[in-house]
Amino acid sequence: MTYTRMPVATPSLIHVVLVITLSHISPNDALIRVVYNHNGISQDFEALPSHFGPQLYREGLLGYLVEAKPANACHPIRAPPPSNGSSVAFVALIQRYDCSFTAKVLQAQKAGYHAAIIHNVNSQALVTMLSENEDAKGQVGIPSVFIGESASTQLKRIFHYDPTAYIILIPDCHWLSCWDSRHTCQTYPQKARQVLPKQTFPCLPSQCHLFSSVHYLLLGLTLMIWMVALYVLCCL
């Protein structure tokens, strides 16, 4: 009887499988954290960053939320309230529809806001904001994110209930991209980010999840199945 030895799975093959699987996992989500009630109570909201303008900074952006007037920001909106210091940042909450995403963000930028949050209407779906106008896209100098309608309703209630509440916009990372960093601190922005005020805030815990969605969980299970299959081919 002749036995045929199965080909041994080499480390390079395992590496290829790992790279293919992980290539589908990217930190494309964002997180809105609201701190209120004078005692550190916080609440997180899921968001999607836009595909135009600067991305959210790893150290986060801390500021105060202001509802845009007019709400859709298709025309010049009211400027944020005056501040006594340059370290105060303001974030505009804008309603979807009636004009392009870039037009809304540019109106917020021109009014003096440092970031924009655009919310859905009659829907909880998160939409990836794109720009078809290259000229307008190149003018955007502040980050922006998209949230569902219920999240916007809760944000309005919090800020009406507690005027001292503040908001933190941070990129939401999965465990593969942030397992080696437990804390991040707000620092002075780089020269390319001069549209933002200089800020120094206490260290903020990174928001890291083992798997932030069912999609990532399925990818993890797929990776495990591949590893088991390679082990069987190698050792049995």
**pLDDT value at residue 62:** 92
Residue bearing the bigger pLDDT, 187 or 128: 128
Per the structure, the count of domains in the chain is: 1
Q: What is the mean pLDDT of residues 168-172?
A: 86
Q: Using one digit for the tens of pLDDT, what is the confidence trace for 180-223?
A: 333 343 433 333 333 344 443 443 444 444 444 555 667 778 88
Q: What is the pTM of this model?
A: 0.67
Lowest-pLDDT range, 6-20, 45-59, 164-178, 220-234? 6-20
Residue 122: left if φ>0, alpha if ψ -120 to 50, beta else—which one?
A: left
Q: Is residue 180 part of a domain?
A: yes
Q: Is residue 165 part of a domain?
A: yes
- For residue 73, is pLDDT > 80? yes
- For residue 49, is pLDDT > 80? yes
* Residue-number span of the structural domain to which 116 is assigned: 27-208
Residue bearing the bigger pLDDT, 7 or 93: 93
Residue 111 — pLDDT band, cuts 50, 70, 90?
very high
**pLDDT value at residue 197:** 41
- For residue 172, is pLDDT > 80? no
Q: Using one digit for the tens of pLDDT, what is the confidence trace for 213-231?
A: 555 667 778 888 888 888 7
**pLDDT value at residue 69:** 97
Q: Is residue 134 part of a domain?
A: yes
Q: Is residue 16 part of a domain?
A: no
**pLDDT value at residue 187:** 35
Q: Using one digit for the tens of pLDDT, what is the confidence trace for 80-106?
A: 998 766 678 999 999 999 999 999 999
Residue bearing the bigger pLDDT, 14 or 5: 5
Residue bearing the bigger pLDDT, 204 or 126: 126
Residue 143 — pLDDT band, cuts 50, 70, 90?
very high
Q: Is residue 142 part of a domain?
A: yes
Q: What CATH code is carried by the domain that includes residue 113?
A: 3.50.30.30
Q: Is residue 204 part of a domain?
A: yes
- Chain-wide mean pLDDT for the chain? 75
Q: Is residue 7 part of a domain?
A: no
Q: What is the mean pLDDT of residues 110-136?
A: 95
Q: Percentage of residues in the chain with pLDDT exceeding 70? A: 67
Q: Is residue 202 part of a domain?
A: yes
